[in-house]
């Protein structure tokens, strides 16, 4: 399914590092009755994700809070240990961004954002996107046309339409 504005997000189990180690969290639980910004990216520690995409959301956390966004969530097809370490390394965790691993790509596939780039070892990774979701329904969706670009999916672009 290719996700569109007006669609309800499909539920999926994602992983994060909690106080006791890895823990599962349901997308439904994160979005039900809440306003959330979700951004997806090809991979932790990759170039554009580290130098542009994550920093654009860190810079705009105050703006998201001012617009009553309950949570900003970063999703990548990585394991929760990698997401946690990358969140610490980039300052995303300190800024309050929830770092979620979609290790099996279940969520990424369910929203139609998966792609493969064998030459760099990416299999069923995520396209770069950002969305604003109210009570589980997609209100705005920005998807980059190609890898290595972070313009329409940047934090500033999503914040401007909320």
pLDDT tens per residue across span 84-128: 999 999 999 999 999 999 999 999 999 999 987 778 777 788 999
CATH number of the domain at 26, please: 3.40.30.10
Please, are residues 9 and 73 in contact by the beta-carbon 8 Å criterion? Answer: no
pLDDT at 117: 77
Residue-wise pLDDT tens digits, 116-159: 777 877 778 899 999 999 999 999 999 998 878 999 999 999 99
- C-alpha dist (Å) from residue 93 to 84, 96, 99, 108, 115: 8, 5, 7, 21, 26
pLDDT at 147: 77
Whether residue 8 is contained in a domain is answered as no
CA dist 157 and 130 (Å) reads 9
CA dist 41 and 53 (Å) reads 8
Whether residue 5 is contained in a domain is answered as no
Reported as type and span, the H/E element at residue 141 is strand 137-143
Residue 61 in this model has a pLDDT that exceeds 70: yes
Whether residue 142 is contained in a domain is answered as yes
Residue-wise pLDDT tens digits, 5-51: 999 999 999 999 999 999 999 999 999 999 999 999 999 999 899 99
**Catalytic site residue from 49, 74, 100, 106:** 49
Whether residue 89 is contained in a domain is answered as yes
pLDDT at 49: 94
What domain range includes position 31? 13-161
Whether residue 136 is contained in a domain is answered as yes
pLDDT band at 1 (very low <50, low <70, confident <90, very high): low
- C-alpha dist (Å) from residue 161 to 22, 24, 27, 155: 34, 31, 22, 10
Which letter, b or e, does each residue of 130-155 get, where b requires 16 or more Cβ atoms within 10 Å of its Cβ? bbbbbebebebbbbbeebeebeebbb
* Domains of the chain: total: 1
pLDDT at 2: 87
Whether residue 2 is contained in a domain is answered as no
pLDDT at 119: 81
Whether residue 4 is contained in a domain is answered as no
Does the active-site annotation cover 49? yes
Whether residue 3 is contained in a domain is answered as no
CA dist 4 and 7 (Å) reads 6
């Amino acid at each position: 399914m290719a996700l569109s504005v007006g669609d309800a997000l499909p539920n999926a189990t994602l992983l994060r590092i909690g106080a006791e180690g890895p823990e599962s969290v349901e997308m439904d639980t994160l979005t039900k009755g809440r306003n959330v910004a979700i951004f997806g990216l090809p991979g932790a520690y990759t170039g554009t994700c580290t130098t542009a995409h994550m920093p654009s959301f860190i810079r705009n956390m105050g703006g998201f809070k001012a617009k009553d966004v309950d949570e900003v969530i970063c999703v990548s097809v990585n394991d929760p240990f990698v997401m946690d370490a990358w969140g610490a390394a980039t300052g995303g965790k300190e800024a309050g961004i929830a770092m979620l691993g979609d290790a099996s790509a279940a969520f990424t596939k369910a929203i139609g954002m998966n792609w493969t780039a064998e030459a760099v070892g990416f299999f069923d990774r995520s396209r770069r996107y950002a969305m604003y979701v109210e009570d589980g329904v997609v209100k705005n969706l920005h998807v980059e046309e190609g890898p290595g670009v972070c313009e329409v999916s940047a934090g500033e672009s999503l914040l401007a339409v909320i």
